[in-house]
Structure 1
Amino acid sequence: MAFTGRSRELRVLGSWLEKVTSASGGSAGQALVIKGRRRIGKTRLVQEFCARSGRPYVFFQATRGRPAPLSRQALFDAVAEGERMREHGAALAHAAAPEDWVRTLAAVAAALPADEPVILVLDEVPWLAEADAGFDAALKTAWDMHLSAKPVLLLLLGSDLAMMDRLTSYDHPFYGRAGEYTVGPLNPADVQDSTGLDAAGAIDAYLVTGGFPEVVTDWRAGEAVAGFLARQVEDPSSVLLTTGERSLAAEFPARLQAGRVLRAIGSGERTFSGIAASTGGADGRPLAHGTLAPILTELTEAKKIVAAELPLSTQPAPKLKRYRIADTYLRFWLAHLENAVAQAERGRGELSAARIQRSWPSWRGRAVEPVIREALARRVPGGLFPDATEVGGWWNRQNNPEIDLIGADAEPVARHVSFVGSVKWRDETPFGARDLAELVASARHVPGAQDAALVCVSRRPPTRAAVEGPAAHWGPDDVVAAWR
């Protein structure tokens, strides 16, 4: 697979290696915890970083279910076979690993060079902890007594976000010893560079692929979204169809209720009561609050696969929380692709393609809104509204009105609202006078927004009748530029 994008992530990793190289980090060694959802490209990113670094490195990847003694022996083998490590790791090449992790990691530390920086990667750390409950404490001891004294950059990777969060939590042995970095999907600018599309097409590609590297790299240069989808839904083994299924199976192997909750949100349910009703029993009763609440907490806080949002204004509204699928690709997969595998296996991929084509305009119109909010939160074009560090939406209990963009100085309760905006992501119809009139009328309902500027974001430039109304208009190029 070709390596695409990740310039920012490579810079971050390079800065951590520089701390080791320059001995500016307070200790000879440095440790960094790298987390991210499964199949997001963490391993590939770190492999590329190691290869580009020009430094000796050891890359050890744990295997789920492998007994701890075999993992320790495999680590010895990885050290002996590491890049530019054969001389240093010779002593471990045929040695039997000790019977505990402290002595194993101490032997690894002894084998690392003392006169030049080296990178030591432990991939899928949660699986090591699963196989040996004492691994975390042993890692702390080995780091304090052996590894941190060497010029080593220790990279600890893992896909179980909850377990990786615990690794650096206050009550954990390794607390305070490592930095943290979360690897997300490829961003829209990376997707544009990979696909060769214009900004509008790249945003479409991002909404479909979610920036998952293995899906993005299957997109042919310059290919329109309709052509990509038609090709992918014909093949039951295509990465677009299978990545979502594999991700859900890995994240929720036996969690039937969690899967049902995800599917309810993916189908468009956004409120607690709506989700409860959609996931209720055969008797028609909604899922009980005591059952649904902890599932949503896990999905939002531990798994981070669902986002919980509140309306943004100067007035608190804690009872108006809404939920959406945070993972862009999974949002598309749940809405359009879960049943497409069966159709592809029957040789009827064209049915799935036609169904997606019919629902694409309305689905895209809502799905693009979080992407635009993230873009504006990163960088408001033209340097406008410097105080608008948070960008969200606003709605009341009746969802009338419902406003796409609120730029403010804090969230979920702002002190000052800088702008109120509308998103119209249509192929043919531009932002027009009627859209502007609706925005003007809706803005009056937002607490604290009476003096806020009006803005619009649209796929096509606004009409002449509307262009003088908003304080600013931003298009696809402006959205993608936020990641450059």
Structure 2
Amino acid sequence: MDGFIGRQKELQSLDDLLARVKEGGRTGRPGKAVLVRGRRRVGKSRLIAEFLDRAEVPHLFFTAVGGSKADDLAAFLAELARSTLPERERYARYRPPASWDEALTMLADNLPRDTPVAVVLDEMPYLVREDPSFEGALQKAFDRRLSGLPVLLILVGSDVAMMEQLNTYGRPFYQRGTEMVVPPLNPADVAELTGLDAADAFDAFLVSGGLPLILEEWPEGADIWTYLENALHTPTSALLVSGERTLAAEFPTEAQARRVLSAIGHGERTFTNIGRAAGDLQPTSLKRSLELLTERGIIAAELPLSTKPSRLTRYRVADSFLRFWLAFVGPNIAEVERGGGGRVLSAVRDSWTSWRGRAIEPVVRDSLWWLTYDGLPAGSEVIGGYWTRTNDPEIDLIGADRGPVANRIGFVGSVKWLERKPFDQRDLAKLHQHRAQLPGAHETTPLLAVSRAGCTAEGIRVLSPEDLLAAWRR
């Protein structure tokens, strides 16, 4: 697929930072820094490359390889010589620096004083792990030299937890840079990239998770079954390899955390059931793994949303692509490699309706969040769900003024995501019953239905896939 779609907010933020560099800053120190983080393969490097192409400023784009400190220092010097920085030829005459303090000093000494430039350090967590002194060297170079030059320093990393920690109190680079989070492409971007209608675009989002590498392989106008037919017969497809690469990077040694994640990916949601499915883990070991997964943003730990406190935490895979990959792809990679992609595709078809019905709920909640101040009842600033220990009731959508313990319930809703069955009078009667069981709701609390196939019931507001996609486009 040609062109660059989405990321307008992120591009505008980078443009604004570069404009401040060009203006010189009110303090007389024009140099700015931005820490860019996001999950692997969401397109961070591609975003920065697109920004540099549009900005047309001299730049250095260095990507750490995660080898040794000496290897990355030598590669840094070589990249300086290949950069578009002014007088870059001089770097070819230098010997490789022995430390990052020396490397960054060399960079600062040779940057122009009157021409705005950009310096990108990609995969920065590798540099932090290789050399404990790197953060201090970066802070020293920025405070003493780079902040006084017209330079935009862009620090990029896929280790989300580490990138967050770099800008926390007590770390050398604390409060020296703006933070930017690059999410996957959203459902509206997926619709534009694939050429699919709203309902099918949400299906494509559930499979791809909005990862650009997967969407680049998606034939224009193809539904998920056409795409999966191709991807599951190609062992090197982005659909197959992206999940394993993500897990290998996130958990190079934590096999237990991967077992816990696999249990959640296969549909287990409660602490007890996850521990049992992961091999009867001891509660302390399971708690540690769940904390690690939550800290890294791989899973979400959620509580029921109502006016009554609850301790019934449930867990889900936070990333749509990983949720699909763990359920259908990861356990069957060997089957695909043996030429059994057709059997894997049949298994997806058999489970698709029930799996999708659960997987679409957090996507719908995220979509409704964009309607909070324009289209939802007052007091719906937080969107969640509600459940009890016995799942009687289990409510798909709750809008409230705050969470997880609300003062006011804004609405109670249901998601029905079937191709040929609209939300009907029976569904409405069930929703009335569930509203009566929700702490904080009453008979005048508004009701809401989100339905893929429309609605035949009367007296309830209904949102369609087109309405949800329009929310993302805003």
User: Which TM class, normalised by the smaller chain length?
Assistant: over 0.9
Deviation readout 1:126-183 (Å, 9 max, x if unpaired) = 1111221100011111110011001111010111122212211101011010111111
Trace 1:246-325 onto structure 2 (pairs within 5 A): 246-280=245-279, 286-301=280-295, 303-317=296-310, 319-325=311-317
Query: What is the SS of the residue equivalent to 2:472?
Result: coil
Q: Indicate whether 1:127 and 2:117 are aligned.
A: no
Q: Indicate whether 1:397 and 2:397 are aligned.
A: no
What amino acid is the match of 1:47?
A: A
What amino acid is the match of 2:5?
A: T
Alignment check: 8 A CA contact 2:167 2:177 kept:
yes
- 2:52 alignment counterpart: 50
What amino acid is the match of 2:352?
A: W
What amino acid is the match of 1:481?
A: A
Q: Name which of structure 1's ranges 365-374 and 162-171 shifts more when overlaid on structure 2.
A: 162-171
Alignment check: 8 A CA contact 1:195 1:221 kept:
yes
Post-superposition offset of 1:52:
1.1
Using the alignment, how far apart are the partners of 2:100 and 2:220 within structure 1?
48
Post-superposition offset of 1:235:
1.6
Query: What is the SS of the residue equivalent to 2:236?
Result: coil
Trace 1:153-168 onto structure 2 (pairs within 5 A): 153-168=152-167
What amino acid is the match of 2:124?
A: V
TM-score, normalization by structure 1: 0.94
Post-superposition offset of 1:380:
4.3
Using the alignment, how far apart are the partners of 2:17 and 2:407 within structure 1?
37
Using the alignment, how far apart are the partners of 1:155 and 1:141 within structure 2?
16
Alignment check: 8 A CA contact 2:23 2:30 kept:
no
Alignment check: 8 A CA contact 1:418 1:453 kept:
yes
Alignment check: 8 A CA contact 1:4 1:194 kept:
yes
Deviation readout 1:65-98 (Å, 9 max, x if unpaired) = 13x2332232222223222x2x332332221243
What amino acid is the match of 1:393?
A: G
What amino acid is the match of 1:480?
A: L
- 1:479 alignment counterpart: 468
Query: What is the SS of the residue equivalent to 2:284?
Result: helix
Deviation readout 1:10-30 (Å, 9 max, x if unpaired) = 122222222212234743111
Alignment check: 8 A CA contact 1:461 1:475 kept:
yes
Identical amino acids, percent of aligned pairs: 47
Q: Indicate whether 1:203 and 2:206 are aligned.
A: no
What amino acid is the match of 2:455?
A: P
Q: Indicate whether 1:13 and 2:6 are aligned.
A: no
Deviation readout 1:430-452 (Å, 9 max, x if unpaired) = 00000000000001111111132
- 1:32 alignment counterpart: 34
Using the alignment, how far apart are the partners of 2:433 and 2:362 within structure 1?
23
Trace 1:340-419 onto structure 2 (pairs within 5 A): 340-380=332-372, 383-419=375-411
Post-superposition offset of 1:386:
4.2
Alignment check: 8 A CA contact 1:20 1:152 kept:
yes
TM-score, normalization by structure 2: 0.96
Query: What is the SS of the residue equivalent to 2:437?
Result: coil
Trace 1:423-434 onto structure 2 (pairs within 5 A): 423-434=415-426
CA RMSD of aligned residues (A): 1.5
- 1:74 alignment counterpart: 75
Alignment check: 8 A CA contact 1:207 1:329 kept:
yes
Structure 2: gaps (5+ residues): none
Number of equivalent positions: 470
Alignment check: 8 A CA contact 1:89 1:112 kept:
no
Using the alignment, how far apart are the partners of 1:72 and 1:335 within structure 2?
41
- 1:469 alignment counterpart: 459
Deviation readout 1:401-438 (Å, 9 max, x if unpaired) = 10000011111111111100000000000000000000
Query: What is the SS of the residue equivalent to 1:383?
Result: coil
Change in CA separation of 1:359 and 1:22 when aligned onto 2, cut-off 3 Å: same
Post-superposition offset of 1:37:
1.4
- 1:140 alignment counterpart: 139
Using the alignment, how far apart are the partners of 2:235 and 2:79 within structure 1?
36
Deviation readout 1:287-340 (Å, 9 max, x if unpaired) = 111111111111001x110000000111111x2000000010000011111233
Query: What is the SS of the residue equivalent to 2:292?
Result: helix
Using the alignment, how far apart are the partners of 2:402 and 2:173 within structure 1?
33
